[in-house]
Chains A and B, each alone.
Chain A
Amino acid sequence: MEILKVQGLKKVYGKGANKVEALKRLDISINKGEFVTIVGASGSGKSTLLHLLGGLDRPTEGKVMIDGEDIYEYREEKLAIFRRRKIGFIFQFFNLLPVLDVEENISLPALLDHDQVDKEYLSDIIRLLGLEDRKNHLPSELSGGQQQRVSIGRALLNKPAIVLADEPTGNLDSKNSKEVIELLKFSAKKYNQTLILITHDMNIASLADRIITLVDGCIVSDKYLKQS
């Protein structure tokens, strides 16, 4: 079942002589529950694509359809609510709020919705992430791997349909990297989520169902891998 459809997506930065075409009319279709990695050299447009998929930026042209709706038809307010409920973001630099502890950082999306946090589900996630004994610590008291696990927890809390990860292991050592990817894969399967991940690391890319390669804002290859 198709959950995400991109049509003629184009993004241009700057004007005149400074004009940079980051994405040149992309068309992509992704099914529910798929694990897709996007690879490419620096400046190939990977991050721009991910930001546009998640409703963080606005495209110059084209559509991003999620569950059949063009998210860029939404006004700013609705787009924010869409991000909160449908998308889970994981960043390279974990981007946790320094004043909130682990539990609070993970609960943030629910708090923004004025929702009562589902305590059971929250402790489920914390257990899954192996952060039980750290849940009252501030981000500054955690290691890089632990901080990234917190941001994964935050991305999962609202049970989003799509999880977008921008080089989630870029700042981690190989042991932590492997753990984080395993965790993402596991939870995606458990909650039947679509996982889209940007990486430089071909070892990680090869763990996915599908690899999309970008060069200069164009898709040059779109391969399905047979996973055991």
Chain B
Amino acid sequence: MINNYKQITGKYLRSNKKRTIFTLIGIILSVALISSIGFFIKSMQQTQIQDMKNTYGSWHIMYEKVDDTFITKIKSNPVVVRSGTYTIGNEVNLDDHLKVREVFGSDDGLKLVPYKMKEGRLPETNKEVAMEKWFLDKIKKNGKLGDHIKLIDKEYTLVGILNDTYNNQNDNMGELVTNDSNISNKNTNLVVELNPNKNFNKNMNELKKLWNEESIVENQYLIMAQGENMPEGMISVLIVIIGIVVISTIAVIYNAFQISVVERVKQFGLLRAVGTTPKQIRKIILREATFLAFIGIPIGICFGIVALYGIDVTFRWIGGENIVFASPAISTDVVFLSIVIGLISIYISALLPAIFAGKISPLVAISTRNSITKEKIKKRKSYMIGKIFGFEGDLASKNIKRNRKRYWITVFSIVISVTLFISFKSFMDMSLNIYGETNESKNIHFAVESKDNISIEEPIIDHIKDISYINNCYEVFQPYYFDAVVNKNREIKDIKEIGSVYKDISYENQNKTLMDSSLVTYDEASLEIAKKYLKEGSINIERLNRENGVIIIGNNRLYNEKTQRTYVGPITDLKVGDEIFLQSNENNEKFEFGQKKVYKVKVLAVLKSNPFYFRGGENKIKMITTKEIAQRLTDKSIDSIGLNIKIKDVKFENVVKKEIENIINDSNDLKLINIIDENRIAKSAILMAKILLYGFVVVVALIGSVNIINTLTTNIILRRKEFAALKSIGLTQKGLKKMIILEGILYGIVGSFYGSVAGSGLSYVLFKGISDIREQSYKLPLDAIVIASIGAMFIGYISVLMPIRRIKKDNLIDALREEF
């Protein structure tokens, strides 16, 4: 027995488990998405901060050439968290190669600069010392902690061994790190750490005013990683992404509540009839919201944490030891923020349906007549759909628009889902396009290079190609440079704005465009693989040779100095069949065009992107051709200067390495470079980014699907009585099924249409955000639109199947009599 009207909430939620679970799933997925994005960003930031601290130190500002009074002044400044001095002593030559210098630091000074301990601890007195391992090996064989070391007329106790650094090894400079806060010479620096969370920029500016500008260094990388001075583009992208997620959360939860209210209009009407006040009705609904929030938000956050660790595990699994994308960090900020966003969205979403429910007239409970007269039905004619799908289709199209409110709620839910999918997917594609260029060079395992671009002798090449473990061996040739003249109409507007690329020229009595170009030669194997990158035309060696053919790479990267952005895209609009006039321009000589011999070449193919890293220039037309044509155009013999080798399996790494080394051993000019690791890291980083972004897209698609299923299912279930009436006058189950399925699909079509428009708009906003960093031309996300539309129609279809099954089981008489 309940003893308060508010307990109706619990009763309802329990007796409508399916609806409750659906609403919960919506809340859980949304909160999980918000929190996992938050956790992920936070973890990346933490990793980056740690990375910067390791590389550059934990200090924010450094004062050079300081004196005692200044140090005291800074130490007593309330905004300073930690400060310390460190002084670099004079260099002393130990022998012809090896040099040494002392570094004195105060306690905090040594902690703020990036010394990474390999073993032991930092020195605590000026009698103790820490040094890099390589240096220790040089001055004392088998030196270990606790040893006494005598150097530059001083005796130290070794207390710490530091990680080797590239710079010191390269300079042959050993550093003796000791603890000493005395300011012995003019080279003392004061390093200062601030609280990054409290008025950082203001405090930083004040501290900067205290010393002369030339002697102040800021730790820019750390400051950037800690979130100050983030590029505005990044911030706006973040805001848009989080905004999309929050809006979708509100939309999904709002929908769920609105549906659950609409489903119970009669019940609320009855409650109103027996004297429930609108306020009490609102309380019932808001109580439902609170209950769902209490269950859904914690589970959602747990899922977010699971997702974060899932991502971490996947990354470790793919990347192995080589790469750690981020070490997972569960930040309380993110948990708190997710709870707040979750609560706000749940209450906003529940408020409107609650107000609506409070306004339900008590008459709704009593007379069915009212609910019919209140539906404003517009007469519609839909000849098209009627012709295509018959009577049932006609009925379906009339049905979906019968109740404006219900129609828009359903369409809105599909629009939100489609919009989310399109904007997220296109955002992902754009980011991958910018940051994740993949080409065949990433699949290369070994490279053979010659010193000073001397050509490699044929027998060596043949020998290497004969190694049985080798899959492909691509020959590399030197690039050649030309002045090129093309038709004026092949200029591109964005490039014109960058300036200095196109020059006007009158050639053969026509106004044409003069620009730089570079030519790269491909061997047969390279040309074969280039076919994968074909955008238009065809690649045929004989035809290239016969028609003086070249292949254009339609993707360049140019830096725009005016806007300080990088443009990614084609440099000309050259198409298959176009002619280019070329005049050799090797050492950037200033010959007028036509002064030397001019060759005419013909474009026979255009590629989407570089098949290999391009060896010519990015701000020039990028051309590829065969050895024969290159010879013709340059009047030089074209010989390979390097080899790119792809082996059959990485497990042959050592065998192949040995065999190649044996072959090139006799030649002093050749060296073998192993790029397996480098490429593996590069490829796994791209793969990880893809997994991450696709993961988000999958979750977004899931949220969208839950939303659509929720709305459509209810839509059908609410009309059981009507379907029973249709059946009782002779509509077959098959006809009914056809009608309902068509309704689902029609909703999918209408929703996809509006969703595609909204999604494209949003993707353009995201594009604008990204292109603040990199410039590229916007493309309509057609593939995302197609996927989302087909998906929406499919889910529209799927989600009506379940209620159809339920309706089939209905007893006609019962359904006709049904009240609630």
Interface on A for B, CB 8 Å cutoff?
A: 13, 47, 51, 54, 56-57, 76-77, 80-85, 87, 89, 91, 93, 95-100, 103-104, 107-109, 111-112, 114, 116-117, 154, 166
A84 in contact with B274 (CB, 8 Å):
yes
Q: Do A80 and B275 touch across chains, with their CB atoms under 8 A apart? A: yes
Question: Contacts A100-B8, A111-B5: A95 and B270 contacting too (C-beta < 8 A)?
Answer: yes
Give every chain A residue within 8 A of B280 (Cβ-Cβ): 112
Q: Are A117 and B3 in contact (CB under 8 A)?
A: yes
> CB < 8 Å: which of B267, B275, B278, B362 contacts A85?
B275
- 16 of the cross-chain contacts (CB-CB < 8 Å) are A56-B273, A56-B366, A57-B363, A76-B277, A91-B366, A95-B266, A96-B270, A97-B267, A99-B14, A99-B15, A100-B2, A104-B1, A109-B275, A112-B5, A114-B5, A117-B3
**Given A97-B270, A100-B8, A154-B274, 16 extra CB contacts under 8 A:** A51-B366, A56-B273, A56-B362, A56-B366, A57-B363, A77-B279, A80-B275, A80-B278, A82-B275, A83-B273, A83-B362, A84-B276, A95-B270, A97-B271, A99-B11, A107-B1
Q: Report Cα–Cα, A103/B2, bound state, in Å.
A: 9
Whether B5 and A80, one on each chain, are in contact in the complex, defined by CB atoms closer than 8 angstroms, is: no
* CB atoms of A93 and B3 under 8 A apart: no
> B363 touching A51 by the CB < 8 A rule?
yes
B1 partner residues in chain A, CB cutoff 8 A: 103-104, 107
Please, how many angstroms separate the alpha-carbon atoms of A47 and B273 in the complex?
14
Closest Cβ of chain A: how far from B53's Cβ, in Å?
Answer: 59
5 smallest beta-carbon distances between A and B, as pairs:
A84-B275, A83-B275, A99-B11, A111-B5, A80-B277
Q: For A98, what are the chain B residues with a Cβ–Cβ distance below 8 Å?
A: 15, 267, 820
Determine whether B272 belongs to the interface, using a CB cutoff of 8 Å to chain A.
Answer: yes
Query: Residues of B contacting A108 with CB < 8 Å?
Result: 5, 271, 274
Given contact pairs A56-B366, A111-B3, A112-B280, A100 touches B11 in the complex (Cβ within 8 A)? yes
The residues of B that contact A77 with a CB separation of less than 8 Å are: 277-279
Q: Contact residues of B with A, CB < 8 Å? A: 1-5, 8, 11-12, 14-15, 266-267, 270-280, 361-363, 365-367, 373, 819-820
Would you call A111 and B820 a contact (CB within 8 A)? no
Q: Please tell me if the beta carbons of A112 and B275 are within 8 angstroms of each other in the complex.
A: yes
Does A111 lie within 8 Å of B366, measured CB to CB? no
Q: How far is the CA of A84 from the CA of B274 in the complex (A)?
A: 5
List, in ascending order, chain A residues with CB within 8 A of B3's CB. 111, 116-117
Min CB distance B328 to A, Å, is: 43
Chain B residue at minimal CB-CB distance from A104: B2
Chain B residues, Cβ within 8 Å of A84: 274-276
How far apart sit A91 and B362, CA to CA, in the bound complex (Å)? 12
Chain B neighbourhood of A97, CB < 8 A:
8, 267, 270-271
| A81 with B275, Cβ < 8 A, contacts A56-B362, A104-B1, A117-B3 known | yes
Pick the contact of A89 from B273, B279, B819 — CB < 8 Å? Answer: B273
Instruction: Contact check, A95 vs B12: say whether CB atoms are below 8 A apart.
Output: no
CB-based contact A111/B4 at 8 Å: yes
- When distances are taken between beta carbons in the complex, the residues of chain A under 8 Å from B276 are 80, 84, 112
How distant is the Cα of A147 from the Cα of B363 in the complex, in angstroms?
Answer: 20
A77-B277, A100-B11, A109-B275 known; A95 and B365 CB under 8 Å? Answer: yes
**B11-A95 in contact (CB<8A):** no
Docked CA distance A222–B270 (Å): 31
A154 CA / B259 CA spacing, docked (Å): 28
Contacts of B277 in A (CB 8 A): 76-77, 80-81
A114/B4 contact (C-beta < 8 A), A51-B363, A77-B279, A97-B267 known: yes
Min CB–CB distance B707 → chain A (angstroms)? 25
Q: Which residue of A lies closest to B16 (CB)?
A: A99
CB pair A93–B274 under 8 Å, yes or no, is no
CB of B4 within 8 A of CB of A80, answer no
CB distance from A125 to the nearest CB of B (A): 15
- Give CA–CA (A54, B365) in the complex, Å: 14
Q: Which residue of B lies closest to A96 (CB)?
A: B270
Q: List, in ascending order, chain A residues with CB within 8 A of B5's CB.
A: 108, 111-112, 114
C-alpha spacing A97/B366, complex, angstroms:
13
Choice from A95, A99, A154 contacting B819 with Cβ under 8 Å = A95
Most A CB atoms within 10 A — which of B12, B15, B819? B819
Q: Which residues of A contact B373 (CB under 8 A)?
A: 13
Q: Which residues of B are found within 8 Å of A116, using beta-carbon distances?
A: 3
**Closest B-chain residue to A98, C-beta based?**
B820
Output the nearest chain A residue to B14 by Cβ-Cβ distance: A99
Residue ID in chain B nearest A80 by CB atoms: B277
In the complex the two chains form, is B274's CB within 8 Å of A99's CB? no
Which residue of A is nearest B12, CB measured? A99
B15 contacts A91, CB within 8 Å? no
Residue of B267, B274, B278 near A112 (CB, 8 A) is B274
- Please, how many angstroms separate the alpha-carbon atoms of A197 and B683 in the complex? 82
Instruction: Report yes or no: B363 in contact with A56, Cβ–Cβ below 8 A.
Output: yes
**Bound: A51/B363 CA distance, A:** 8
A93–B363 touching, CB < 8 Å = no
Residues of chain B with a CB closer than 8 A to A109's CB: 274-275
The interface residues of chain B lying within 8 Å CB-to-CB of A85 are: 275
A77–B266 Cα gap in the complex (Å)?
A: 19
Q: List the A residue with the shortest CB-CB distance to B365.
A: A95
Shortest Cβ distance from A116 into B: residue: B3
Q: How far is the CB of A119 from the nearest CB of chain B, in Å?
A: 10
* Nearest-CB residue, chain A, relative to B10: A99
A171 to B, closest residue via Cβ: B817
A107–B4 alpha-carbon span in the complex (Å)? 10
CB-CB < 8 A to A80: which residues of B? 272, 275-278
- Complex CA gap A13/B365 in Å reads 18
Question: Which residues of the partner chain A approach B267 to less than 8 Å between Cβ atoms?
Answer: 97-98
Find chain A residues with CB under 8 A from B271 CB. Answer: 97, 108, 112
| Minimum CB–CB distance for A120 against chain B, Å | 15
Say yes or no: A93 contacts B273, CB within 8 Å: no
C-alpha spacing A99/B16, complex, angstroms:
9
Whether A47 contacts B15 in the complex (CB less than 8 A), given A85-B275, A97-B270, A111-B4, comes out as no
* Complex CA distance for A95 and B268, rounded to whole angstroms: 11
Interfacial chain A residues near B366, Cβ < 8 Å: 47, 51, 56, 91, 93, 95, 166
C-alpha gap A76/B278 in the complex (Å): 8
Q: Inside 8 A of B361's CB, which chain A residues have their CB?
A: 56-57
Give the distance in Å from the alpha carbon of A57 to the alpha carbon of B1 in the complex. 32
**How far in angstroms is the closest Cβ of chain B from A204?**
19
B553 → chain A closest CB, angstroms: 68
CB distance from A7 to the nearest CB of B (A): 22
Q: How far is the CB of B275 from chain A (nearest CB, A)?
A: 2
For B273, the chain A residues whose CB sits under 8 A away are: 54, 56, 83, 89, 95
Give the CA-CA distance A99 to B264 in the complex, in Å. Answer: 11
Complex formed: what's the CA distance from A103 to B3 in Å?
A: 11
- Residue on A nearest B15 in the bound complex, by CB: A99
Chain A residues within an 8 Å CB radius of B278: 76-77, 80
Q: Which residues of A contact B270 (CB under 8 A)?
A: 95-97
**Chain A residue nearest to B279 in the complex (CB):** A77
* Distance of A84 from chain B, by nearest CB (Å): 2
